Amino acid sequence: MQLKDIKRDIVENKMDRVYLVHGRESYMIDEIVKMLKESLNPGMLDFNLKVIEGESAGFSDIVESVETLPFMDEKRITIVRELPLLKSGKNSWSEDDEARLLKYIENIPTTSVLAFVSQEGIDKRKKPVKHIIKFGSEVCCDKLRGSELIGWVKGRFESSGLSISNSDIIYFLKICDYESKNSPKTLRDVENDIMKISSYLSGGKEVTRAAMDKLSAASLENDIFRLVDCIGTRKGAQAVKILDDMLLQGTSGIMVLSMIGKQFRIMFQAKELKDLGYSQSAIAQKVDAHQFVVKKALAEGLKFTPGQIKDILNECSNIDQLIKTGLIQEKIGIEVLISQLCSKK
């Protein structure tokens, strides 16, 4: 069963009695859980929705919730998160309780929906997992593909008042690097990129490749390289100008600060590893970064001593705390940081 299928079930009020929702796409799982909740009478959620954390869940906890009749609504929904019984390794369930749960899953009341949810992974070899799939519906929340992914992206752009062609969606996904086999990107990352473009373009406009190129992750990373280079050469005014441009393009101040800190951390680690005799490719694997990023970090690192980089990381952390506690505005905080770093010798 795909995301669109369970959406249809919920909208048409034709939900199965048992669902197994799992996968690495936490965005999809959160969306499904949200839709399940929204299918209930909002004024009666406290009576008709139960979320059970799997680590502390026993057979009786699940049955008690499922057997409770809905109050002023057609259904009662029980969501069990991260049940150890469905995963590899040992768990605290007795063989008797496991057998009772498997039998019970075959006879869930028509007034209830029981959803097992896992973002941490399940073991499909285990009998409880096979039993739930046999008597219920499995929703695998891994990366969206093909027409379903294109439709999802188009819908997100249209909800922001923007139009985009299918060919440009394919281009957008390519620069997002969502579909690559080993890409860590999730739908949440893709949505962040869509929001960035939406804040840059006013409603009613068509999304262009020029706008996508300007706001792509590669462009953002390049801006950070330029900003760090300005700090290294003590060009404070130019660094602030780059910061202003990034903020105008919709990049959040916290993200800019985080990326500055990340760049200096990679710089520090790369310098240490190079001194130990590691090659660029080996350093890239160690610090979990692209070789191009490592190459740039090593070049920028020549402008700073290890002690200076440590001080910079501490100052980034201090500014981050001041911003998050509301003691200073994002833009002002980063400008202060740039001023402090460019005044160092």
What domains are there in the chain, each with its CATH number? 3-140 (3.40.50.300), 146-215 (1.10.8), 217-342 (1.20.272.10)
Residue 197 has pLDDT above 90, yes or no: no
**What local confidence, expressed as pLDDT, does residue 29 receive?**
92
Estimate to the nearest angstrom the gap between the alpha carbon of 68 and the chain centroid.
34
Kindly report the pTM of this predicted structure: 0.60
Q: What is the pLDDT of residues 272-309, one digit of tens each?
A: 999 998 888 889 888 877 777 788 888 888 888 889 99
Q: What is the pLDDT of residues 229-263, one digit of tens each?
A: 888 888 999 999 989 888 887 778 888 898 899 88
Q: What is the pLDDT of residues 112-139, one digit of tens each?
A: 999 999 988 899 999 999 999 999 999 9
- Token pair 């768990």 is found at 91
**What local confidence, expressed as pLDDT, does residue 216 receive?**
67
Structure tokens at 159: 């909800």
Q: Concatenated DSSP letters for 144-179?
A: --HHHHHHHHHHHHHHTT-B--HHHHHHHHHHHT-S
SS3 content of the chain, % helix, strand, coil (to 5): 60, 10, 30
Compute CA distances 106 → 81, 151, 259, 345, whole Å.
20, 35, 51, 72
**What local confidence, expressed as pLDDT, does residue 332 receive?**
94
Compute CA distances 6 → 35, 140, 163, whole Å.
9, 11, 26
pLDDT confidence of 182, banded at 50, 70, 90? low
Residues 180 and 323: their CA atoms lie apart, in Å, by 35
